[in-house]
Structure 1
Amino acid sequence: MVYVMIFCVSIGLGLQKTGALIGRIVTDKDQVDSAFSIRYTLVNTGAFIGTFLVGILYKDVFAKNGVLGFAPCFKLAAVSMWLGALWFFVLGNRFMGEVGKKPFKFEKTAEELEREKAEKAAHKEEAKDEPLTKVEKKRIAAIFLVAGFSVIFWIFWNLAYLPVYYYWTENMNWVVAGYEVPTTWFDAANSIFCVILGPVMAMLWRKLAARPQGDMSLFKKTGIGIGVLGVSYIFFAVLDVMRGGAKISVLWLLIFSFILTLGEMFFSPLGHAFISKYSPSRYLSTMMAVWGIATFISSLAYGPLFSATFEGGFKFSSVCIAIAVVAFISAVVLFVLDKRLSKLVEDEDEVEA
């Protein structure tokens, strides 16, 4: 039944195209990163409410005779999702207009329409299955490349959760003001920081985009995000050394969660924005799926990596420092190769102009 649940979740996520829809609603490329940062805030508003309330519900409200109340929580989640689907169907047509009613290949971007217009002006016959242009091929390659770096990012990001559940649960004091803090509140902390940082990052991207030299490339933003993740592991190492074998307060995890979330906000919301900007319309959904495949690979990898490192008999702080070093090296590589990588998404005609 667990695998049936996973299958249903996968189908639901596969059909959920809100990222691609936003990429068509917001047509100004300079505003796309900001739009996806705001979307990330809205998504994590629900994530915060869910993880915060569930921590209380399964442990304190629905628990009976020593059995934790997970079943009622799942029922509540099911009702919430059905209400969300009803909300979308009722208000979608009213506020979203024609966006999303047709396959994305029929909703071309302004750049694609301009190119098509130029081809018609040159008396070129329009083929039913237009071949990819050189620029489009390079942009698809860039999407695969960014997805590859996202594997590294998400391995480190997901890996950071496991020490919280399997190391710090034993080496931290989880009682605050007489109340035992549910472990789900660590997820809630990440969500609330996403909610807070979303508008801040949106304003930052908008301000950077308004500069004469334009915004930073996604490759640099990814580098910063991976670098910040490295800092979070350094913080873990410092905590372990600082405690000296004693238990420290779970409140320290708030600082760790903030650093982790800051790294996430430099990268995660912008992946879909990058795909929306540069994917050919007829392959937009497919390119979004590439992002999902990268998440799948990282989800497979971080468990065995945890077993080989944190559970491999090595010192906790040493493992954290080693992971941080790998993260810093990855960030430096992205910064050094930024110009070469950025050329993959540039329109050669615009560059020559």
Structure 2
Amino acid sequence: MNQPSSTLLGHPKGLFLLFGTEMWERFSYYGMRAILVLYLVSTVESGGFGWSNADALSLYGTFTMAVYLTPVLGGWIADNILGQRKSIIIGGLLMAAGHFTLGTPQEWLGDGAESAFYIGLTLLCCGNGLFKPNISTLVGDLYEEGDTRRDGAFTIFYMGINIGAFIAPLVIGYVGEKIDWQLGFVFAGVGMLISVAMQLAMAKRYLGDIGVNPSAHGMSTGTGVSAKDRPLTQVERDRVKVIVIMSVISIVFWVGYEQAGGLLNIYAKDFTDRDILGWEMPASWLQAVSALFVVAFAPIFAGLWTKLGDKQPSSPKKFAYSLLLVGVGFLFMVAATMEQGGDLNVKVSVLYLIITYLFLVFGELCISPIGLSLVSKIAPIKFLSLLMGVWFACSAIANKVAGLVGSMIGEGAEQINNAFSIFAGLAVSGFIAGGLVFFMADKLVEWMHGAEDRATVEHSELDQDPV
């Protein structure tokens, strides 16, 4: 594989191109996400659809499920037909079209406004399916198997995601809430076009031929046989089991984490004191807190994994830490609802949400970049983007469940008690799942067959006879 050898800060320069590409794509997505539920529940007079909280959160869950489910098909298309690079460009253009469709003024559409809304969401889902698994796969392709820089690289890449996610609610959230909802969606579309332009202008220089050809058509290591035509070895089968198990486990984390765009967004709007010297901060701005924490702490986590090297915790144990941290985070939301005492008129300090987001981010840094790195390092080449899609598909399930869980807050006087039950359930689920993963960790590492051990990789079993 031909790729440029120049580096920046100890990593291939292509990493920073992918960093920027993903940053602008996430700017578009998280900006749209920050205002989507608020737009749906806003009154018709204010330019929204006037939906109930339950209906808006249910739609939010269905949409985000589809966003993370389509990468399974998009990954297969990239592996077998288009290659990662073309998939990213086509997916980006589809997403831009989706944002601009959402941004079409309702008065232009008349009775077709709701139909156009659903068309826009569909374009976003289809585009994301081609974009999301393949940009992450390209990051992994920059590194040889056993390269201990890989987890750190995905953490740096994750900073790009969250710089975009931090800026997005501040810009798009403000424009949407304070000026015009449709204009907010247009800003999201512009961000997506910048992402595509970066790939078109700089990919050849900084990525070489990485991702140009479908990976399933490449040659399997040491066999001279197309990866598409060679059966999986037993080692590869074990590694696929690890990816599937860890992806399923991640659902528990994401059900909690994805309350940010739904239930926690509603809680911020209705039950949080956002007054700053007489000025009320837009509720969507709190969506930027998590991203700010990721940008602040990602270098620390990346440096920690690099410094520990071979002594760092295994990927399964990092997953376990993430689940325990999400449990701790929601304890603060339990405390917030207890302070309200069932009174809808009591608004709690914004610090409850901020501290909750801090623990969710610590958990995120132990699971999301690590999960992306895990898939890229142990997935068989012919299923590389497909299995990246499986990772995102489990996020899809989590997003739908998160929407259903969040919608249980209901309406009226029972909202506080319902919120208490939801937050307590999420905390307990995190603690139980974290303990379970610690119990399973050693077996999962065994099935990885030394993928995280540089010495073992030098004598890889991948070239044994297929079964």
TM-score, length-scaled by structure 1? 0.85
Q: In 2, Cα distance between the equivalents of 1:255 and 1:298?
A: 22
Counterpart check, 1:341 vs 2:458: no
The one of 136, 142, 151 aligned to 1:19: 136
- Which among 23, 30, 55 is matched to residue 173 of structure 2? 55
1:99 maps to 2:214: no
Contact 1:186/1:257 (8 A) holds in 2: no
Match of 1:32 in 2: 150
- Mapped pair 1:46 → 2:149: no
Distance 1:20 1:334 in 2: 25
The 1-side partners of 2:226 and 2:214 are apart by 19
Which structure would you say has the larger RCO, counting Cα contacts within 8 Å and 6 or more residues apart? 1
Secondary structure, counterpart of 1:247 in structure 2 = coil
Are the aligned partners of 2:163 and 2:292 in contact in 1 as well (CA < 8 Å)?
Answer: yes
Tell me the CA shift for residue 272 of structure 1: 1.2
Instruction: Determine the structure 2 residue equivalent to 1:70.
Output: 181
Q: Tell me the residue number matched to 2:278.
A: 178
Pairing 1:327–2:424 present:
no
Percent of aligned positions with the same letter in both sequences? 28
Q: Separation in 2 of the partners of 1:238 and 1:317?
A: 8
Q: Deviations over 1:189-235 (max 9, x none)?
A: 11111111211111111122243xxx312211111101100001111
Q: In 2, Cα distance between the equivalents of 1:222 and 1:132?
A: 26
Query: How far, CA to CA, are the matches of 2:272 and 2:409 in structure 1?
Result: 20
Match of 2:106 in 1: none
Alignment-derived partner of residue 316 in structure 2: 219
**Does the C-alpha gap of structure 1 residues 347 and 38 become closer, same or farther in structure 2, counting only changes over 3 Å?**
closer
- Equivalent residue letter for 1:222: F
Equivalent residue letter for 2:369: P
Aligned to 1:146: 246
| Contact 1:38 1:199 survives alignment (8 Å) | yes
Question: How far apart, CA to CA, are the structure 2 residues paired with 1:132 and 1:36?
Answer: 26
- Say if 2:218 and 2:226, in contact at 8 Å, map to a contact too: no
Unmatched segments (≥5 aa) in structure 1: 64-68
> Which residue of structure 2 lines up, in the alignment, with residue 276 of structure 1?
376
CA offsets 1:254-309 (integer angstroms, 9 cap, x no match): 22221111111110111111000000111101101101211111122122223447
Match 1:236 to one of 333, 340, 344: 333
Counterpart-to-counterpart distance in 2, 1:71 and 1:103: 37
Q: In the alignment, is the contact (CA less than 8 A) between 1:106 and 1:281 conserved in 2?
A: no
Partner in structure 1 of residue 300 of structure 2: 200
d(CA) in 2 for partners of 1:227, 1:107: 40
Alignment partner of 1:166: what SS? Answer: helix
Distance 1:322 1:295, change over 3 A: closer
| Per-residue deviation, residues 229-250 of structure 1 (Å, max 9, x unmatched) | 0001111112233455532232
Output the CA distance in 2 between the equivalents of 1:42 and 1:286.
23
User: Post-superposition shift, 1:107?
Assistant: 5.5
- Aligned-residue Cα RMSD (Å) equals 2.6
Structure 2: which 5+ runs fail to align? 1-115, 460-467
Letter of the 1:73 partner, please give it. Answer: G
Deviates more, 1:275-284 or 1:260-269: 260-269
Q: Determine the structure 1 residue equivalent to 2:42.
A: none
Among 132, 135, 149, the alignment partner of 2:235 is 135
Selected match of 1:263 from 342, 363, 369: 363
Instruction: Give the aligned residue type for 2:335.
Output: V
1:305–1:247 Cα change, 3 Å? closer
Report the Cα distance in structure 1 between the residues aligned to 2:397 and 2:182, rounded to whole angstroms. Answer: 30
Q: What is the TM-score normalised by the length of structure 2?
A: 0.65
Contact 1:221–1:267 (8 Å) recurs in 2 = yes
CA distance in structure 1 between the partners assigned to 2:172 and 2:391 by the alignment: 29
Runs (4 or more) in structure 1 with deviation over 6 Å come to 125-128, 309-313
The residue number in structure 1 matching 2:117 is 2
Q: Which letter does structure 1 place at the counterpart of 2:356?
A: F
